[in-house]
Chain A
Amino acid sequence: MGKLGIEDLKKISEKSSIAGAIRSNEENDTKVVVHMGTCGIASGARKVMNALKEIVDEKKLNITLDEAGCLGICEREPIMTIISKTKPVVRYAGVTPEAVREIIESHIIGKKVLDKYLLANFQKGAENITETSPSEKPAVFSPEWEGPLKDLKEIDFFMDQRRITRKNCGAINPYKIDEYIAMNGWTALAKALSEMTPEEALDEIKDSGLRGRGGAGFPTGRKWELCRQVRSDTKYIICNADEGDPGAFMDRSQLEGDPQSILEGMAIASYAIGANKGIIYVRAEYPLAVELISNAIDQAREYGLLGDDIFGKGLNFDVEVMIGAGAFVCGEETALIHSVEGRRGTPRPKPPFPAISGLYGKPTIINNVETFAAVPFIIQNGSKWHSGLGSETSKGTKIFSLAGKITNNGLVEVEMGTSVEKLVYDIGGGVPNGGKFKALQCGGPSGGCISINHLDTPIDYESLTKLGAIMGSGGLVVMDESTCMVDTALYFLEFVQEESCGQCTPCRDGIGVMLGILTRITEGEGREEDIEQLQKIGEMIKKTALCGLGQTAPNPVLSTIRHFRPEYEAHIKDKKCPALRCRALITYSIDPETCILCGKCQKECPNDAIEGVPKKKGSKGEPFRILIEKCIKCGNCYSVCPTGSVLRT
C-alpha cells in the first residue's frame, strides 16, 4: 500500500478482518484460530495447527485457519477458537492433535459442541451449536462491535479482569499490521499528530497519572517532561523489554500478542519529547518475541508509520531491535544503556538521570513495554478516563502474571487496587490440589513475600511497599505450605549474588555475609542473634548500595522475617523446617505398613541408600529401609513412591 496518510487508516480498517472475528463478506463461513504464544507452542499449538491443516485438506472443508496471540489462560493451552458468521464463538482448551480430529468431526461436521474440551463450562451440554448462549452474538466484525473476546467475560478467570492493554492479545494475528489497524490501531498517533501539540500530548500523559510498569512506578509524564526540557539534536527512546524478573512474562506476551501497540506508544513518546531514534531491548531468551516485534517494525516502516515524515506531519522516528544477552542487572536502566552501547552491562550511579544524559550521553527515555503499550489508549480516551481507573495513587490497569501454586496460571489485567484475594482466589482459582495458600511473592528478587494475613491488601504501588514488598513488574508467584520461606529468602539471595555486577562493596560483600547466615540457618546451625544480624546488614545494604539491584536485594529476606518470623525461629531454635524443605532438617523413612515392596524407590536412589528386595514373581521380597547414614536427602524416593509410604519428617 505504501506510505499511509491518516485517512488511509480508515480504509484499511474497513477492509481488514481480524483473526478473532469474521466479516460477513469473507469467503468461508467458519474460521478456526489457534492461539500461538510461547506458552501455547510449548504446550503443542504448532502440532495442533498442523493437525488442523491436515484434516481440512483431507475432508476438503471450507474453513479459514488463522492464528492469534495468547489469551492469558496459559494453564489451559493449547487453545483453539471456532468462529462462525452465524453462531456464537466456541473455545476449546487442552487441545491435542488427536483432539483436533474429534473436535472438527463433532463441531464442524456433526454440528455438535464437544463438551469434553470446552474452555468454559457455560457452553457445556449444548446439543446444538446455534443454542450455545449466553454469548448469543456471533463474532461478525463491525466497527461498533464490542470486541472479539466478549464471550470470555462469562468465565471466572476473565470476569473481574479489565483488559485494556491486553485488549488485542488473542484477538488479532500479531503478524499482520492491518489487524491492529482494524482494532483502531495507530489512530492515537494520528490524533496526537493532527489534534495536539507535543506539549498537549505530554500533558495528557502527565494528567493521566500513568506510572512506569517496569518496577519503580515513576510517573511517566514527569520523566518525559524532564527529557523534553533538555535541548539536544538527538534524543532516544528505549523500550525496556528485558523482563528479567523470574516468574514474570507480561512483556513477552505483549510483544508476541500485540507488538504494534508498543511501537505506537513509542512513536507518541517521540512526538511528545522530540526524539527521533528508538530502541527495543529484548532479552535473547524470547526468540518468538524478537521475531514478532522485528516483523512489526518492518510492516510499520512499509506503511510509513515509522521513518521520515510520518503521516505527512513532519515526525521522524524509527525503531531498532537489540537483543539483550542475558544478565539480570541489564534490566536496570543505566546498565541497559551500557549494554546498548556495546559495553559490559554494569550500572552507574544516578544522577545524572538518563532523561538528561543517557545513551551516548544524549537525553534518553527508558520505559517498560507495558508502559508504552498503555499510551495509545490514554491518547485515544483522554487522561480523565485513565485517571478514573485504579486506586488513589496508582492509576489505570496493570497486567500481572500468576504462577506457582495456583490453579489458573496465566496473565491477568485488572484495575490497580484490586485485592490480593480477588487475584489469587476469584481470578486465579486458589491453590490447586487442596493445598493451602501460604505466601504471595511479588516483585521478584527486589520484592518480598506477603502472608495470608494480608489477603485484603489492594495491589498498588504504595500498599505493597508498605508491607515491605513491591509491585515490581507484575510477576506474582503463589507459594503453598510446601515452600519454606527461609529457603525462599536464600534462593533470592543466591540469585542476586550471582547477578550482582560486583562494583560496590555493600552488594558484593554484604549479600555474601547474609547468605552465609541464611545458609547456616537452613543447615540447622542457626544462632539466636542471626535474625537481628540479618536485619541489620539488610538495612545497611539498602541504604548504601550503588544501584537498584543492591538497594532492593535484602527485601526478600527482610519481608520474610517480617511476615514469617516463627518459621525462622523454628529453624534456629527447634532445628525444624515446618515446610519440610531444608534438607539438613528432615529425615526420610519408609512405612512398612503401607509399602507394597515395588522397589521403585530403590531404583531411583542415586546413592544406594535403600535396602530391601522387591516383590516379584517367585520372590516374596524383603522390607525396604532407608539407611540414614547414606541418605543424601534428594527426595527422589519420596516423589516416586506410588503409595505415599516414604515419610518425610
Chain B
Amino acid sequence: MDTGTVRKPGTGNEEFPAEKFQILDERIKEYKGKTGATIRVMSKAQEIFGYLPREVMFRIADGLGIPPVKVYGIATFYSYFSTMPPARHKIISCQGTACYVSGGRQMLEKLERILGIRRGETTPDREFSIHPVRCIGTCALAPVIKIDSEIYSRVSIGKIKKILARYSKKYEEKN
C-alpha cells in the first residue's frame, strides 16, 4: 500500500470527492449495529469508489467503531474486495473444473501473454486487469471469460484477441 502520500479522508481531491464520502457515511449510519454491518458497508464502499482505498477503510473502521485492521483483514480475505484501483475493464478468467477440462488454464496463460501481465495485475495503461476465479456458474458454456458484465462462452485461443479488440484498439488484428 502506498504510504507516502496519505490523503486526508474526505478533503475532496479528484479521486475521492467529498460527496462520495458523504454517501459512504450515510451507508455507515444505515448499517451500523445491524447484522453483518462491516461486510455490507465495505461492499457499498467498493460500489462507490470502485475499490477500497486506504482512506476508505479507515473511514469505515472509524464509523463503525472497530479497529482498522479488522476491515483490512476482511478486505484481503475475500477475493471480492480489491484494495487496488480498478482497471477500466476487468477480465475474469474462470478456472473452475468444467473450464479446466475444456482448456481454461491455456486461456488464462494466453491472456497473460497477450496483455503482458500476470494474473491479479493491471496493465500499465490501466485498460485491463486479469482475475482468475473458481467458477461463475455458466459451466455449460465452458471455457468462459467475463469482461465487465459480459460473459463470453466457449472461448478458444484464437478468439481471445478479437474479443479484446472490442474493448481496446490496441488489439485489433493488423492484416
Contact = CB atoms under 8 A, between A and B. Distances in A.
Contact of A327 (B37, B78, B113, B144): B78
A285 B97 contact: no
Q: Which of A246, A286, A478, A640 has the most chain B CB atoms inside 10 A of its CB?
A: A246
A249 interface: yes
Contacts of A499: 134
A345 to B, nearest CB: 7
Interface in A613-643: 634-636, 639-640
A77 B134 CA distance: 23
A38 B137 contact: yes
Given A39-B141, A404-B102, A284 B96 contact: no
A326 B133 CA distance: 9
Interface stretch (A101-109, A213-221, A334-342, A379-387): A334-342
B172 to A, nearest CB: 15
A29 to B, nearest CB: 34
B35 A320 contact: yes
A245 to B, nearest CB: 8
Most A CB contacts (10 A, CB to CB) among B39, B43, B149, B152 go to: B39
Interface string A326-352: 111000000000011111110000000
Interface in B121-158: 133-142, 144, 149, 151-153, 156-158
A74 B106 contact: no
Interface in A225-252: 243-249, 252
A479 B101 contact: yes
A152 B63 CA distance: 56
Given A247-B97, A477-B98, A635-B106, A42 B153 contact: yes
Given A409-B139, A409-B140, A477-B101, A247 B96 contact: yes
B38 interface: yes
Q: Which of A247, A344, A604 has the most CB of B within 10 A?
A: A247
Given A42-B151, A404-B101, A639-B156, A249 B137 contact: yes
A636 B134 contact: no
B156 A246 contact: no
Contacts of A483: 101
Contacts of B36: 322, 339-342
Interface string B91-133: 0000111111110001001100100000000000000000001
A74 B141 contact: yes
Nearest to A600: B158
Contacts of A477: 97-98, 101, 139
Nearest to A256: B137
A410 interface: yes
B155 to A, nearest CB: 11
Contacts of A478: 101
Nearest to A492: B97
Of B43, B74, B99, B136, the most chain A CB neighbours within 10 A belong to: B136
A495 B138 contact: no
B73 interface: yes
B79 interface: yes
A495 B94 CA distance: 12
A110 B39 CA distance: 56
Interface in A438-461: 441, 444
Interface string B33-50: 001111110010000000
Contacts of A246: 95-100, 134-135, 139
Interface string A492-536: 000100010000000000000000000000000000000000000
B48 to A, nearest CB: 16
Contact of A636 (B101, B110, B144, B152): B110
A325 interface: yes
Contacts of A249: 135, 137-140
Nearest to B139: A403
A405 interface: yes
A17 B102 CA distance: 41
A303 interface: no
Contact of A441 (B97, B102, B157): B97
Nearest to A42: B151
A401 interface: yes
Nearest to A639: B157
Which among A341, A342, A634 has the greatest number of chain B C-beta atoms within 10 A? A342
Nearest to A410: B140
B101 A323 contact: no
B142 A252 contact: no
Contacts of A475: 97, 139
B97 A404 contact: yes
B33 to A, nearest CB: 11
Given A339-B39, A640-B158, A444 B141 contact: no
A243 B74 CA distance: 20
A42 B144 contact: yes
A496 to B, nearest CB: 11
Contact of A326 (B79, B98, B106): B79
A566 interface: no
Contacts of B138: 38-39, 42, 74, 249
A322 B170 CA distance: 40
B16 interface: no
Contacts of A320: 35
A478 B101 CA distance: 8
Residue of B35, B106, B133, B140 with highest tally of chain A CB at under 10 A: B140
A495 B134 contact: yes
A104 to B, nearest CB: 25
B134 A404 contact: no
A491 interface: yes
Interface string A32-67: 000000110111000000000000000000000000
A606 interface: yes
Interface string A179-190: 000000000000
Contacts of B152: 42
B86 to A, nearest CB: 15
Contact of B43 (A323, A344, A479, A636): A323
Given A340-B36, A640-B157, A634 B109 contact: yes
Q: Which of A243, A285, A401, A444 has the most CB of B within 10 A?
A: A285
A341 B77 CA distance: 15
Interface of B: 35-40, 43, 73-74, 77-81, 95-102, 106, 109-110, 113, 133-142, 144, 149, 151-153, 156-158
Given A38-B138, A344-B77, A636-B110, 6 more contacts: A39-B138, A246-B139, A247-B97, A326-B133, A342-B40, A499-B134
| 4 nearest A-B residue pairs (beta carbon) | A246-B96, A74-B140, A325-B78, A409-B140
30 contacts: A39-B138, A42-B141, A42-B144, A42-B151, A43-B153, A77-B141, A245-B135, A279-B35, A287-B149, A320-B35, A322-B39, A325-B79, A339-B36, A341-B36, A342-B38, A342-B39, A343-B38, A344-B73, A402-B140, A403-B140, A404-B98, A404-B102, A410-B140, A475-B97, A475-B139, A477-B139, A495-B134, A606-B113, A636-B157, A639-B158
